[in-house]
Structure 1
Amino acid sequence: MVSVEADGTVHRLSPQTINGTAEIVQAAAVVSAEVAAGNAARLCREVAARLAPAPRAGPAHGQAGVVAGAGAGAVRRVEVVTETYDAVAWFAGERRPQRRVVHADCPVGRR
């Protein structure tokens, strides 16, 4: 799973963000199982909700604001993706996937 910023910058999500574990293999298994079961959209929404900035009192009149850090670099959406790489090419420096399938794409809004 990845997050995508407003400028298109993509970040791989941590196992902690995906399903609350430090175990990479466990998080990968959860994502694979959800995709296989047809639940990629639901998983996407759950993770996007965890990434949504929490509301806080605004500087004027107690209006709801957004937690610091939101802005140009803030996460705009989450994607559940499968990427296929050439292992030999990877170690030769080629980091682009040979194939990329987006199983679900959902916005990150406010909580």
Structure 2
Amino acid sequence: MSRRWQAVVLVVVALVVAWPALRRPPTDGFPLSTYPMFASDRGAESVVATAVGRTPDGQRVRLSPEVLAGTDEPMLAVSTARRAVASDDADTWCGEVARRASGTTDGGEPVAAIEVVVETHDAVAHFVDDAPPLDVEVHATCAVPTR
């Protein structure tokens, strides 16, 4: 192959690779992904549906994905919580979580009650300073059965 032909092939390959990045507006897709979900401001507040435990003295206890949804996958637990709140099925889900929480302590006091909540967090403060939620909306409360 001649040097001239090699140069032409090199330029064509470079243009094909650079082409997605040169489009206006840049899009996310084949053959290159620009991951725009990480390139834009998502805001400082995050809204999360979950369930929390309450000890007999009223302390809030974070529950594991196993207790929340019977799985070790956090994203499945989040999805289960979101679906329960969105479908007005928080009372039923609360009972399911309470049954799984029965007898668990996670190294502390036993959980006496479950609250299905939607929490609004300052996303940065929550992870940097373990700040409490800015707002908590309770959708259901139920007692944990004793064993």
Give the TM-score of the pair, scaled to structure 2.
0.57
Determine the structure 2 residue equivalent to 1:22: 72
Aligned-residue CA RMSD in angstroms? 2.0
Cα offsets for 1:65-88 (capped at 9, x unmatched): xxxx7xx93211011111111123
Cα offsets for 1:15-55 (capped at 9, x unmatched): 111122111011100110011000000000111122224xx
Determine the structure 2 residue equivalent to 1:36: 86
Q: Greater strand share, 1 or 2?
A: 1
- Measured after TM superposition, the shift of residue 96 of structure 1 is 1.7
Q: Find the residue that maps to 2:112 and give its secondary structure.
A: strand
Q: Greater helix share, 1 or 2?
A: 2
Instruction: Return structure 1 stretches of 4+ with deviation > 6 angstroms.
Output: none
Q: What letter is aligned with 1:42? A: T
User: C-alpha separation between the residues in 1 aligned to 2:129 and 2:71?
Assistant: 30
Of structures 1 and 2, the one scoring higher in RCO (CA 8 A, sep 6+) is: 1
Larger radius of gyration, structure 1 or 2? 2
Aligned partner (choices 8, 25, 49) of residue 58 of structure 2: 8
Q: Note the residue ranges of structure 1 that are not aligned, 5 or more in a row.
A: 54-68
Q: Note the residue ranges of structure 2 that are not aligned, 5 or more in a row.
A: 1-50
